[in-house]
Amino acid sequence: MDRRNEAAQSREGLLRSYERGERAPMRKSLENAYRSESESDIDATEFLDRDPLNEQSQPTVEAYGPSKQLASIRRSFARRSKCLCTILTILIIFWSILAGGGFFLYKKAPKDGLSPPWYPTPPGGTSSKWQDSYKKAQALVEKMTLAEKVNITTGTGWQMGLAVGNTGPAIHVGFPGLALQDGPLGLRFADNATAFPAGITVGATWNKELMYLRGKAHGMEARLKGVNVLLGPCVGPLGRMPAGGRNWEGFGADPVLQGIAGAQTIKGIQEEGIIATIKHFVGNEQEHFRQSWEWGLPYAISSNIDDRTLHEMYGWPFGDAVKAGVGSVMCSYQMVNNSYSCGNSKLLNGILKDELGFQGFVQSDWLAQRSGVASALSGLDMSMPGDGLMWARGQSLWGPELSKAVLNGSLPVSRLNDMATRVVAAWYQMGQDDKSKFDGKGPNFSSWTNDEMGVINPGSPDDHDQKVVNKFINVQGSGDQAHSIIARAVATEGIVLLKNEGILPLSKDGWPTNENHEINMRVGIFGEDSGAGRGPNVCPDRGCNQGTLGSGWGSGAVEFPYLITPADALRQAFNKERVYVTDFPTNDPPFKTAPIILKDQDVCIVFVNADSGEGYMAFDGIRGDRNDLLTQKGGEGLIVKVASGCGDGEGSTIVVIHSVGPVTVEGWVDLPGVKAVVMANLPGQESGHAIADILLGIVNPSGKLPYTIGRSLDDYGPGAKIQYYPNGAIPQQNFSEGLYIDYRHFDKYGIDPRYEFGFGLSYTSFEYSNLVVTEVLPKSALPAARPSGIDPPQYDDKIPDVNEAILPSGFKKLKKFVYPYISKTSDIKKGTYPYPKGYDIKQTPSEAGGDEGGNPDLWTTYATVSMDIKNTGSVIGKEVIQLYLGFDKVEGEAKEIDFPRSVLRQFEKVEVKIDEKQTVHFDLTRRDLSYWDVVRQNWVMPTEGSITIKVGASSRNMKLTGWY
């Protein structure tokens, strides 16, 4: 079976499939704007001047042309009558109106980005934790030719290799090509691998150990499949918009929850020797307009984020990831403050590499690189998948263009050396030079076919060399080491009990022993989401909502090795001699023609869902981002019918929701028949087992909401709404709500949520007591002085001989494959090449920096907190103790500093036996106790007044209060 059609529709915005030997259909207007058919070699420095944000080369309507839709209309109606031309004009006007006037606003694109320049790129190798790896990397890179350095920093092109991303090797020094593979919840396109629960389910567990174990199992599977770099975990989007299409890939709508979960996942992955990739840096909060041309506009949307919000919200979890030693960071598609993220020097050089002290390499999202030299100077280290501005053309912004840029002096040799060294150092840091664990042969599976035999480079029409590409190695573990055990534990603990009027847990034996009934208990299961549908893998990249929902769709989805459905698991879990189970896996049961199927039930369990995913796919009118917060496919109507008619009005209804994020429940949650509501999130392959464990009380529910469930979308505020229509040539999205998203917004405006952030019921009860706050160090406004760190590698930065990049004699090139070679010495055009505006400004290193994760003092413990938790109920259970901070009003240099009412800072999950009391401890770091001061450009701890410490069971259920 050929996976190319599936893959070509996927991986961050490839909208059309193509067959080998046939050019992938692309938008001609964009294609012509940058390179004509006759242009075989454009000097890389020319792309600096062609950066869409450079004022010297602003695109015009003539240069870009209309969208693909308009181009198609024009071709269809060319040389037709004046009448048809009139119709065409009307269609153009109509399209332009629908697009918010974007077509006529192309000329009004901002000439300059609003993000300040920050050059040059800080070199890697300044952290002692990476010292040995950088020494080894330096020794290797010093021996590399120019072509080899370019080879390991440029992808080979889409479908040029067995993984979704592949780099070339440095053969003469023994450095292999790297295989990069999606994704955040399993190995995309792989066989015999685990489909773990999604990130949002992991966040709902609030269990640090499970976060780590899931990451470790994931990393082990990647290693055994021959992968070098995992494209996960995901902490961006943060969840600013509850209907955001990819929120489910992350861990929840709070930076601390995201940061801790991300760090634990990274720890697990990298302990297995795999380079983890934290993504997407930063501000990619919606799917609409995330890429150039994907939505008919020449530019991506700009996320306009103020400095404090960037640090305290969207950048916070990336700080945790860097502190955890993450090897790779993926920059996002969209712009930040009107500069593309993968070419934003302030983001990559200033914040990520200087302030956060990131030592690994920055890779682009697939085709998120929008310039050549400019992106290299801005801090990009690896171009993925290697193709340039267009998919599957083999015309890279780097590759041979990067070689030319170094040879003509437009890109400093020092920058290329740092790029290559960062990649090699990450390889050494994870121990991938250990041949007992990594054989250097690359993946033992193909992303492009399910057949045993295939070609290595199916994207090239020249590759006809059939080889074994799928070895079908099972990496799921077995026995008590089976990864399904971890998947089931995460899925189970990620279930949140929202409502329970005494009906749960059900007994596997039906009626309670103290009740007398003449007949067995009758349980009816309703809803398409309870069953198998047409199978879990029927749609490419899980791009349809059918059957039970175990995952969202897109590049973050995987092939299910199996999917246990709720109906199957419940039928097996109930005692068949005492419980009669019938299931109706449809959202439209024949209630009118066969009313007995509803009336003849004692308990009804309704399964509904809400799906979303990446914006390159659409299903049932949903393209990426959800259109609302309701259940889908008539779910609400099904709930109302079942709750009203179950047992002829005498039965009890339990509602189970599988969802990518918050779902509003106001239309049915207060119906008398609805006795329980369960949010099961996205449970992965062990779905049915997990829900059966909870409903039957085999496991006490302990999940907590990783987001707020409001009563309506309006409750979340104006900034929480997807921008479905462009408001200019570059759609502008202002994050004007600042720090106030999700529960922070609800707190600020006194809005009563239906179920608050951190909420979740249990089958037992807990008592909180004895809060003790201990000062470890006295308050001080600013962290200690930035440490100097160690010296980075030093190289001879002389421009190499041109022969190092010349195509070797007799070398046969594959079409569309990205090589580092140039054809002839005359390709090198000498001249004076301008650097970006602001390149000559000397930057002062940030006082907030100094090591991985920032200034080491930010991670120093300044206060400890302890409290006691006691199980006062009748069953063993786990409780998530959540610690929130509140700041007194603080006077800044210009105005009063605003703070949310409460911000999550720490959490712990503990298992407590009946009548047992445990003491739980928390450490509060300087960073926890500080805010970002935009004037002093540092983390500042308020020294006047007290910092309030609140401990409780949710963001709205504080049990204990103390002060520091």
Question: Which residue numbers are catalytic?
Answer: 365
Please, which residues have CB within 8 angstroms of residue 320's CB and are 6 or more apart in sequence? 259, 260, 262, 263, 853
Alpha-carbon dihedral angle through residues 802, 805, 808, 813, given to the nearest 10 degrees: -140
Radius of gyration of the chain (CA): 28
Surface-to-core class of residue 662, CB atoms within 10 Å of its CB (0-12 exposed, 13-18 middle, 19+ buried): buried
Cα(303)–Cα(719) distance, integer angstroms: 11
Length, in residues, of the chain: 964
User: Please, are residues 905 and 948 in contact by the beta-carbon 8 Å criterion?
Assistant: no
Amino acid residing at 114: L
Question: In the β-sheet with 947-954, what is the strand arrangement from edge to edge?
Answer: 903-912, 877-887, 947-954, 957-963
SS3 string, 888-956, reads CCEECCCCEECCCCCEEEEEEEEEECCCCEEEEEEEEECCCCCEEECCCCEEECCCCCCEEEEEEEECC
Between the CA of residue 421 and those of 234, 267, 326, 344, 408, what are the distances in Å? 25, 22, 16, 21, 21
Cα(210)–Cα(204) distance, integer angstroms: 11
User: Please, are residues 618 and 554 in contact by the beta-carbon 8 Å criterion?
Assistant: no
Which residue shows structure tokens 């930035």?
786
User: Please, are residues 553 and 611 in contact by the beta-carbon 8 Å criterion?
Assistant: yes
Q: Is the peptide bond before 505 cis (omega within 30 degrees of 0)?
A: yes
579 phi and psi angles, rounded to 5 deg: -130, 130
Cα(350)–Cα(846) distance, integer angstroms: 8
864 phi and psi angles, rounded to 5 deg: -120, 150
User: Please, are residues 685 and 560 in contact by the beta-carbon 8 Å criterion?
Assistant: yes
Indicate left, alpha or beta for 176 from its phi (over 0: left) and psi (-120 to 50: alpha). Answer: beta
Cα(933)–Cα(928) distance, integer angstroms: 14
Cα(197)–Cα(233) distance, integer angstroms: 13
Q: Which two tokens stand for residue 460?
A: 């090239």
Using DSSP, state whether 886 is helix, strand or coil. Answer: strand
CA dihedral over 225, 229, 233, 237, signed as positive or negative = negative
Using DSSP, state whether 613 is helix, strand or coil. Answer: strand
Closest-CA residue to 218 (of 279, 274, 278, 162)? 274
User: Please, are residues 183 and 557 in contact by the beta-carbon 8 Å criterion?
Assistant: yes
For the chain, the farthest-separated pair of C-alpha atoms sits apart, in whole angstroms, at 95
Buried b (16+ CB within 10 A) or exposed e, 904-918: bbbbbbbebeeeeeb
Cα(67)–Cα(47) distance, integer angstroms: 22
Amino acid residing at 603: V
Indicate left, alpha or beta for 184 from its phi (over 0: left) and psi (-120 to 50: alpha). Answer: alpha
Please, which residues have CB within 8 angstroms of residue 518's CB and are 6 or more apart in sequence? none
Please, which residues have CB within 8 angstroms of residue 867's CB and are 6 or more apart in sequence? 768, 769, 770, 771, 772, 881, 919, 920, 951, 960
Cα(761)–Cα(873) distance, integer angstroms: 13
